[in-house]
Structure 1
Amino acid sequence: MGPPKPSITISQQAFDEMVKENIDDLGMDPTEALQDAIETLTLQGVDLSGIVTCKEDPVIQSLDRLKQLNSNWTDRIGKDGDEVMDLLDKLTELCSAEGSGNAAIGTRNGGIELVCSVCSKLRGGSDQGLVSGLKTLASLLHDVQSGDTFQRSGGPKMVMAILSDISQSSNILNGGFSVVAAAATGNEIVKESFMELKIDELMLQILRTHGEGSIHSLYDAIRILLTPDDNRVVASQVYGYARRFAKTGIAEVLVESLKEGLSSPSLVSATVTLKAVAVNDEICRSIAESGGVDAVLRCIDDSGEQGNQTVARVCCSLLSKLAGSDTNKSAIVQKGGMDRLIKLAARFSDDPSVLQEVMSIISILSLRSPDNAARAIEAGAGDLAIQAMQSFPGAHQMQRNACLMIRNLVARSPENRTLLLHNEIWGLMTTTNRIFTMFKQSTFFQELLI
């Protein structure tokens, strides 16, 4: 399946001329002319996002007034700034409205360049004014093209200049990292710019200075910087960025958040971020050496006792990543990991999203390891698969993970095949039509029956 074909676009000038022609040549009134142009272009597949279709568009009005203030900037405007803040807050509200297209209108009409300039001038003035400016900028950054505009406008350097003053309030730092996250989403060029400006070192310094949890958007920014989500590039550099983050020591700082357990306000964010950093065996082992495996297992235990499904899912997902290291795999099993995972599954037996994560870990732990596979069967992994597959026939990802887990449990363990066949696992799997279709061409069933 190839990438979607790009939409047909039109300039604001061409749209306005079409409306004018409807009025001058066809005798339509302005309202009718505007509606006809919108309907005609929509039927032709033209992308009208960012096109102003209203003479008194509130986004345009706010931008025009903000441009006036920016052009005639004085110390009074910077210090008092009530009107500037009101305009910025209004733009944020307008551009954040889902499905409104206001963010596209703002970016098409110079919003990003303007707000970057305003934010630069607000530095050293009112904290609230700068917070408002950063929020507006984040709301305007809605796609790859807006990220490119941000890049061309010197946005990364401007934001880094604000963030580099680590004595800034947590609200300003949160606003700044929200801009980093929005600008870097889907944009490899912006990611590269921030990494060239050594944002990884700055992030570690801020985490250590402000403490884990106070700058929540920082975690989102790290995760997005390490996500290969730009379809325009053949090979992303984010793998190298993750290694750089690990070398700064940020993994150890994130592990400290995990050690605080469910009392940490940043537990979920830190867990997801740590998974993004753990890109190779060396980093996974270093996380374990810092106490990461112990911390994750404790969080898994606590999430089961407190019924916290979100923590259970993200911690299981992280443990799956850490289990990719053979050294960690052995440590997890030695620390009673199999029993603790089956216990968690029992507590969340009504939640297939947790069960599929548990089965994913057991599958990894059992891969090419007959001893671990035997330990999993003893802990109750076979019963888990049968009960879950019977209970949730429509949970396709969970069904798939169950099949993969069973495959790894039996691949090198003839005794496990016998046990599972006695439990009628074959009949259960062949009645799960979608999953059976996926596996019937593989060697899985042959291995199961040997």
Structure 2
Amino acid sequence: MAKRRITQETFDTVVSENIEEFEMEGNEALQEAIEQFESQGVDLSNIVKEVPKVSSEENAEDQTHKVLQALESLKSAVSSSTSVLEDLRVFTEQCSLDFARRYLAAQKEAYPTILTCCQRAGEEKELLSVALAALSVLTDGQPDLLDVEGREFLIGALTTHQSDPALTCQCIRIVRHFCLKHENNRQAFVKAGALALLTGSITRHIEHHEVVREACVALRVMTFDDDVRVPFGQAHEHAKMIVLEQNGLKVIVEAAKAHPENTAVLSELCATLSRLAVRNEFCQDIVELGGLKFMITLLADSLDCQELVKQVLSALKAIAGNDDVKDAIVNMGGAELIVMAMNRHMANAQVCEQGCAALCVLALRKPNNCKVIMECGGALAAMQAMKNHPAEVNVQKQSCMLLRNLVARTRDFTQAILEMGAEALISKALSTHRDCGDVGRAALRDLGCQVELRELWTGKKGSLSH
């Protein structure tokens, strides 16, 4: 059930009443108000939890929050055409503190005020940079603020300042904020030409790690399907456009080669490649561009870097959707490296999940690959992951699917896998996690174990017609 929400004014009134009527100190009054509302099941995530300050000595009744004081000061500077630099910086600092302050500022018309500052900056790069920083922090978590004017400004700024890496970076970050969890904004930016600007910025500033990273994340967001308000998004279509119209695979592989030592950038590049491998031929293209060789080398050289390992495993899983690429990965020693990565980071559930998922895809319909996976300890690693992470449903599911794939086309490994204790682990996953039902029973069945099959409906207890 959705939690109740209240306005900032309601919360502030209760804090003030605690101070005035019950003679509490400020912090005590604040804590009392928080506990009171939380006990009633109210969601306070959008509420600024501080005692409002008196904004002027003449009017002690006039209480407000620092973020609103900063906003009012900024509005005054905008309307009187005086310098807004310092006011923008103070506002940005306040909004950086938490989402509640950003939300409150947005309720009080902060977005049009900041956008006006951005538009008026023109060629004044310092002012534009400070105004963009304010817009970036305000829009973090608030994509609904975007209007046509804002979108046109951002597309224009990305075009006009494309040779400036710092301004490009700021604009891209704002585009990303507007597109995260907002399908309509994504589609509007794509129609306005954002994909060409994003890939172009990577190519133009390929040595500038921050631009490459930001543009990569923004491209990946364009392939998300994360807006619960929209039944069908354009995630797949956008991924195809990035690859086919913007040569996105080549752009990303080349960028990866330009930053061989920067693990943060490489993680983002691998994660974006994973999102773009949506068609069989795209997976093959990544191999032909040298992407697979690069990823295998990267995994071998970076086994200790947990975050990078996780992203490389995810990318390998994605491109292994192509049967020829499966063989190429195994022939280059990929299976052994995946198992080594899992064993190195066995305590990390996400690495275990991605490792099992990658091995699972490599084993699918490929008996020769199954042999390699068994020989390098893949089944044993999967079962160790199940033991280490009994509460992680995705680890359990991927492990079950891997074990099933290893014996689905050949029974040669059944006995060895059973001797490792597979039946007990799969049965435990079945009893612990409802979501493991289908994959767990399929794994037990293909391992030759006793399986209790459920009949969902036999048609014997009544008719569908009246």
Q: TM-score, normalised by structure 2?
A: 0.81
Bigger mean CA offset, 52-61 vs 233-242: 52-61
Question: Which residue does 1:278 correspond to in 2?
Answer: 277
* Aligned equivalents of 2:305, 2:377: Cα separation in 1: 22
One of 102, 114, 132 as aligned partner of 2:130 = 132
Report how far residue 332 of structure 1 moved: 1.3
* Aligned equivalents of 2:308, 2:8: Cα separation in 1: 47
1:149 aligns with 2:145: yes
- 1:409 maps to a residue whose letter is L
- 2:436 maps to a residue whose letter is M
* 1:444/1:387 CA distance change after superposition, 3 Å: closer
1:419 aligns with 2:416: yes
Question: Which residue does 1:301 correspond to in 2?
Answer: 300
* Aligned equivalents of 1:53, 1:105: Cα separation in 2: 14
Report how far residue 113 of structure 1 moved: 1.0
Report how far residue 252 of structure 1 moved: 0.8
Instruction: Confirm or deny: 8 A CA contact 1:258 1:264 kept in the other structure.
Output: no
Deviations 1:264-303 (A, max 9, x none): 4621111112222222223222222211111111111111
* Aligned equivalents of 1:57, 1:387: Cα separation in 2: 53
Report how far residue 229 of structure 1 moved: 1.1
* Aligned equivalents of 2:351, 2:182: Cα separation in 1: 32
* 1:401/1:109 CA distance change after superposition, 3 Å: same
Report how far residue 315 of structure 1 moved: 0.3
Instruction: Confirm or deny: 8 A CA contact 1:150 1:183 kept in the other structure.
Output: yes
Question: Which residue does 1:88 correspond to in 2?
Answer: 88
Instruction: Confirm or deny: 8 A CA contact 2:206 2:255 kept in the other structure.
Output: no
Question: Which residue does 2:97 correspond to in 1?
Answer: 97
Deviations 1:246-269 (A, max 9, x none): 121121111123335641462111
* Aligned equivalents of 1:315, 1:263: Cα separation in 2: 15
1:206 aligns with 2:201: yes
SS at match of 1:60: helix
SS at match of 2:217: helix
User: What percent of counterpart residues are identical?
Assistant: 24
Query: RMSD in angstroms over aligned alpha carbons?
Result: 3.3
* 1:244/1:128 CA distance change after superposition, 3 Å: same
Larger helix proportion of the pair: 1
- 2:165 maps to a residue whose letter is S
- 2:164 maps to a residue whose letter is S
Question: Which residue does 1:227 correspond to in 2?
Answer: 224
Report how far residue 28 of structure 1 moved: 5.6
Report how far residue 53 of structure 1 moved: 7.6
Question: Which residue does 2:70 correspond to in 1?
Answer: 62
SS at match of 1:368: coil
1:177 aligns with 2:172: yes
* Aligned equivalents of 1:29, 1:426: Cα separation in 2: 64
SS at match of 1:414: coil
Instruction: Confirm or deny: 8 A CA contact 1:188 1:233 kept in the other structure.
Output: yes
* 1:29/1:401 CA distance change after superposition, 3 Å: closer
Question: Which residue does 1:245 correspond to in 2?
Answer: 242
Question: Which residue does 1:158 correspond to in 2?
Answer: 153
* Aligned equivalents of 1:221, 1:392: Cα separation in 2: 32
Report how far residue 435 of structure 1 moved: 5.5
SS at match of 1:415: coil
1:448 aligns with 2:447: yes
- 1:251 maps to a residue whose letter is L
Bigger mean CA offset, 351-360 vs 177-186: 351-360
Question: Which residue does 1:357 correspond to in 2?
Answer: 354
Instruction: Confirm or deny: 8 A CA contact 2:356 2:402 kept in the other structure.
Output: yes
Report how far residue 193 of structure 1 moved: 1.8
Deviations 1:173-224 (A, max 9, x none): 1111111111111111211221111011111221111115241322222122
- 2:67 maps to a residue whose letter is V
Instruction: Confirm or deny: 8 A CA contact 1:374 1:413 kept in the other structure.
Output: no
Could you list the runs of 5+ residues in structure 2 that have no partner in the other structure? 53-62, 450-466
SS at match of 2:226: coil
- 1:294 maps to a residue whose letter is K
Bigger mean CA offset, 210-219 vs 235-244: 210-219
* 1:334/1:111 CA distance change after superposition, 3 Å: same
SS at match of 1:233: coil
* Aligned equivalents of 2:388, 2:40: Cα separation in 1: 48
Instruction: Confirm or deny: 8 A CA contact 2:203 2:255 kept in the other structure.
Output: no
Report how far residue 129 of structure 1 moved: 2.1
* 1:430/1:436 CA distance change after superposition, 3 Å: farther
Report how far residue 42 of structure 1 moved: 7.0
* Aligned equivalents of 1:429, 1:40: Cα separation in 2: 46
Deviations 1:304-346 (A, max 9, x none): 2xx1111111100111011112221122122232223233334
* 1:10/1:347 CA distance change after superposition, 3 Å: closer
- 2:234 maps to a residue whose letter is Q
Instruction: Confirm or deny: 8 A CA contact 1:278 1:322 kept in the other structure.
Output: yes
* Aligned equivalents of 2:43, 2:129: Cα separation in 1: 32
1:343 aligns with 2:340: yes
Instruction: Confirm or deny: 8 A CA contact 1:104 1:142 kept in the other structure.
Output: no
Question: Which residue does 2:329 correspond to in 1?
Answer: 332
Instruction: Confirm or deny: 8 A CA contact 1:257 1:264 kept in the other structure.
Output: no
* Aligned equivalents of 1:197, 1:104: Cα separation in 2: 27
* 1:28/1:419 CA distance change after superposition, 3 Å: closer
* Aligned equivalents of 1:331, 1:410: Cα separation in 2: 21
* 1:424/1:62 CA distance change after superposition, 3 Å: closer
- 1:89 maps to a residue whose letter is R
